[in-house]
Amino acid sequence: MVEAICEELRIRKSEIKGKVETIYFGGGTPSLLSNDELEQIFEAINEHYLLAEDPEITLEANPDDLTSLRIQELVRSPVNRLSIGIQSFFKEDLELMNRAHTAVEAMDCITEVKKHFTNYSIDLIYGIPGMTEYRWKSNLNTAFNLDIPHLSCYALTVEPKTALKAMIAKGIVAAVDDEMAQLHHAILLDTTEALGYENYEFSNFGKPGYYSKNNMAYWHGRSYLGIGPSAHSYDGKVRSWNVANNNLYLKSIQLGELPLDREELTMKDRYNEYVMTRLRTAGGIVIQEVEKNFGERYKNYLLKQVELHLANKLLLMDEEVIRVSRQGKFLSDGIAADLFLVNL
């Protein structure tokens, strides 16, 4: 697989025009890669791509993978940022979500990471069935007491064909309570703001200087290249995605073929995506950008669609920028859908 990834990096080298500013090892369990395997991938990157002077290089990992030894190994690798899937510091939440690590492993992992990395992030989940207001506040306070520089906090979504979905259907576990999730989100906004975290994107909270460059690039519509099975790529006009099957991926690469499908986005698709992504960011929707990139008709359509949400104070508009208000943040996906273009 590592050899195939290196080969795909070679095949697709012409798709990156400028300097590479961020590299993100995500999806699956990339922390299982040895330092030698990571180094093999970085050799391919350095051979075929031009790196920025100080690129952000993030590796996703679960606490049970980040032993003291593994963390010390990663310090000797090019990785300079970790994204750790903590999810919760409570045993009952971790068991409900079928996580492999324990609450003790979560704490031990962060304690060790802090000794070696200054730039790292943890994921936390709210809106978990049975999660009380107290438990969510306790999760956040644990993170604050550990002085975590970046938090990614997500409302629990119940995916089809999962054990959790089946348990909810059978009444073994309570259904997700949207009102409780909204309360958790309000607590999240209040507590992070009070402690100096900046909510630069709906789910992401960073102390100054600790925004994720990878997140910023994605939510601001920058081009990205995805390598490996299931990876997605985007160049501003065309979206592509690699086959999810590992064996099919390997066979295609061995034949010198790219195992991917492509979709060319229409003007309407690109407008809708711009609205969806930018409305989630602190920067908001810039009206002049809409007119420049999509034309006056799209701008006028947008201004008409936002009127109701401005009146309800779910959206705010100042200096040609449209942003979600504090009370509208939890509803931002639904608000964005109201601004989407169906026909013009």
Q: Are residues 41 and 158 in the same domain?
A: yes
Taking 70 as the threshold, does the pLDDT of residue 259 lie above it?
yes
Range list of β-strands (E), the chain: 20-25, 51-61, 81-87, 120-126, 150-155, 198-201, 204-206, 232-234, 238-242, 260-264, 285-286, 315-318, 321-324
CA angle 249, 71, 56 (to 5 degrees): 65
Picking from 223, 227, 225, 233, the residue whose alpha carbon sits closest to that of residue 262 is: 233
Q: Tell me: do 215 and 272 sit in the same domain.
A: no
Report the range of poorest mean pLDDT among 75-84, 109-118, 154-163, 287-296: 154-163
Give the total number of structural domains in the chain.
Answer: 2
Q: What 3-state class would DSSP assign to 27? A: coil
At which of 202, 219, 236 does a domain end? 219
**DSSP states of 220-231:** TT--B---STT-
CATH of the domain at 278: 1.10.10.920
User: Residue range 76-101: average pLDDT?
Assistant: 94
pLDDT at site 32:
86
Percent of the chain whose pLDDT exceeds 90: 88
244, part of any domain: no
pLDDT reading at 28 higher than 80: no
pLDDT band at 174 (very low <50, low <70, confident <90, very high): confident
Residue 229 lies in a domain: no
Residues 54 and 125 in one domain: yes
Residue 246 lies in a domain: no
- In the block, residue with structure tokens 């920028």: 321
More confident residue, 47 or 168: 47
Among 219, 235, 259, which residue terminates a domain?
219
Residue 308 and residue 209 in one domain: no
Quick one: pLDDT at residue 344? 61
Query: β-strand 204-206 against 198-201: which pairing, if any?
Result: antiparallel
Residue with the bigger pLDDT between 30 and 161: it is: 30
Q: Are residues 318 and 198 part of one domain? A: no
Asked if residue 167 and residue 302 are part of one domain, the reply reads no
By residue range, what is the domain housing residue 48? 17-219
Are residue 179 and residue 272 in the same domain, yes or no?
no
Confidence (pLDDT) at 165:
81
Asked which of 219, 234, 258 is the last residue of a domain, the reply is 219
pLDDT > 80? residue 171: yes
- Residues 313 and 202 reside in one and the same domain: no
CATH assignment of the domain containing 74: 3.30.750.200
Same domain (yes/no): 197, 310: no
Which pTM does this prediction carry? 0.93
Whether 37 shows a pLDDT value over 70: the answer reads yes
| Domain assignment of residue 177, yes or no | yes
- Mean local confidence (pLDDT), 269-276: 96
User: For residue 202, is pLDDT > 70?
Assistant: yes
**Claim to verify: residue 215 and residue 273 sit in the same structural domain:** no
Residue 161 has pLDDT above 80, yes or no: no
Average pLDDT across the chain, whole number: 94
Most confident of 32-36, 67-71, 196-200, 317-321: 196-200
Residue 228 placed within a domain: no
The whole-angstrom distance between residue 142's C-alpha and the CA centroid of its chain comes to: 22
Residues 69 and 211 both lie in one domain: yes
| Within-domain flag for 258 | no
Residue 247 counted as domain residue: no
- Based on the fold, state whether residues 182 and 47 are members of the same structural domain: yes
Asked if residue 256 belongs to a domain, the reply is no
- Residue 73 confidence (pLDDT) above 70: yes
Least confident of 28-32, 89-93, 120-124: 28-32
